[in-house]
């Protein structure tokens, strides 16, 4: 049974929500057209903690609020969560900036 995410369950990273659902993390504002999904494929125990060892990063273009209909735009794989966050955050910030510039130019 799925549980609802509450405000206190949401971690903010670089001014955007980072939400975890099992081995999948979503980064970005669901009200925007793009979001980054991180899927932890492998992990290992280090001092009783599960450390991500293999992560897939996907930049998704959303159509509405439903993430299931999102279109895959970019995909990569990294061996640490920090490396995965680094590229995923860059992709998202870059595409949102390009979208903003495109909309600004279209209004002129």
- CA separation (Å) from 28 to 2, 15, 41, 68? 21, 9, 21, 16
In this prediction the pTM is 0.83
Tens of pLDDT, residue by residue over 76-107, are 999 999 999 999 999 999 999 999 998 888 88
pLDDT per residue as tens digits for the range 14-48? 889 999 989 999 999 988 999 999 999 998 888 88
């Amino acid at each position: 049974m799925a549980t609802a995410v509450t405000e206190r369950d949401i971690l903010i990273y670089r001014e955007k929500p980072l939400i975890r659902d099992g081995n999948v993390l979503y980064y970005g504002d669901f009200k925007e057209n793009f979001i980054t999904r991180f899927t932890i494929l492998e992990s290992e125990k280090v001092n009783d903690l599960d450390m991500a060892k293999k992560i897939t990063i996907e930049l998704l273009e959303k159509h509405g609020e439903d993430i299931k209909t999102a279109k895959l735009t970019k995909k990569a794989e990294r061996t640490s969560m920090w490396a995965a966050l680094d590229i995923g955050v860059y992709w998202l910030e870059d595409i949102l900036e390009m979208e903003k510039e495109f909309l600004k130019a279209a209004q002129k």
